[in-house]
Amino acid sequence: MDRLIQANGQPHYGVFAETPQAINHRDFDYRSPMGRKLGALSKWRNFHQFQYFGLISPQLIGGCALAELSLVAIGFVYLYEPRSGRMLERRFKCPLGIGTRFSQRPDDGACELRQGRNRLRLENAAGPLRKRLLVELDDGTRIDASFNEQQPAFQPMSLCTPTAVNGWVYARKVAGVRCEGQVRSALGDFDLGAIDAFAHHDWSAGYMRRETFWNWACLSGEAQGRRVGLNLSCGVNETSFTENCFWLDGELCKVDSVRFAFDRDQELGPWRIRSFDGQVDLAFEARGLHRERLNLGLLASNFKQIFGRFRGELRPHGRAPVVIDDLWGFVEDQYAKW
């Protein structure tokens, strides 16, 4: 697919076998809930985009995100060492996106934030199909991590769903891929290939609900000799279609709607995650979290990304279950007002 928005101003909807080359949101026939055509200012104000790159291994957990919210761009990066429980975190906010740039090409572009001597950069290269995270901080922290989606072959989750009465969300998800590269930080130096690190990636954009929330779960690793990845959500990307799936050796297995059971008053309490079709039955034990809170009136966010370990089963239709035993991963509980 060349472009997400068609000649009639409407998006292609559905789960796609291929990634659109461009998320040409400016061509969208954007209207108010009462049908009035909206102009360039409304399109700029209400279009939001974010990208996330996560690292998982028993020796090191990491995450980096960039988000463009029109009035402000934000970025964060953290590293967590499970053995010691030590964690490093940095957060950045750029009013009106000053110091940032965002590409609307999911497989061939870069998103970047620069502030002083700090740089967060997420690169998407088309040939070969490769994702790269580059972090350079003024305290000497450096992360250079990447993965290849073609060697071995991998099927990403790529979809676009209607949102509220007049919006849409496009998302492209990857999990369960091996990662290579280097990390240098106050936690120590790590060779990601040597510690058998896995990665996951999220590229999302669109005209999202003005006020929304979501829960999300992701894991990446090896179970019973197979490369396993998981991407589940509730609260976004579930109108007509869902992004819920898991991967076995790069093969995408679609999953029905999902229920997340947890107690918001216990930030590090247990979670239970089950799918309606019975393909997913997992328990999550939290070990730590990264939190972002922002309340600027027009914009607000209460974001908790919790990392820990999963236990349970993945039950692909017509095949033997895959037992998940202490695989590291993430869950999220997010409220956002855009």
Q: Coil, helix or strand for 40?
A: helix
User: Would you give the DSSP letter of residue 43?
Assistant: H
Sketch out the chain's domains with CATH numbers: 14-337 (2.40.370.10)
14-45 as b/e: b if 16+ CB within 10 A: ebbeebbbbbbbebbebeeeeeeebeeeebee
Distances (CA, A) of 75 to 86, 114, 335: 21, 10, 17
Distance of alpha carbon 59 from alpha carbon 191, whole angstroms: 11
Q: Return phi, psi of residue 43, to 5°.
A: -65, -45
Q: Can you give the C-alpha Rg of the chain in angstroms?
A: 19
Distance of alpha carbon 130 from alpha carbon 123, whole angstroms: 8
Residues in Cβ contact with 225 at an 8 Å cutoff, skipping those fewer than 6 apart: none
Amino acid at 178: R
Tens of pLDDT along the chain (338 residues) come to 899 999 999 999 999 999 999 999 999 999 999 999 999 999 999 999 999 999 999 999 999 999 999 999 999 999 999 999 999 999 999 999 999 999 999 999 999 999 999 999 999 998 789 999 999 999 999 999 999 998 888 999 999 999 999 999 999 999 999 999 999 999 999 999 999 999 999 999 999 998 989 999 999 999 999 999 999 999 888 889 999 999 999 999 999 999 999 999 999 999 999 999 999 999 999 999 998 888 878 888 899 999 999 999 999 999 999 999 999 999 999 999 88
* Biggest alpha carbon–alpha carbon distance for the chain: 57
Q: Model-level pTM? A: 0.94
Distance of alpha carbon 38 from alpha carbon 49, whole angstroms: 19
Residue in 172, 333, 170 with CA at minimum distance from that of residue 245 = 172
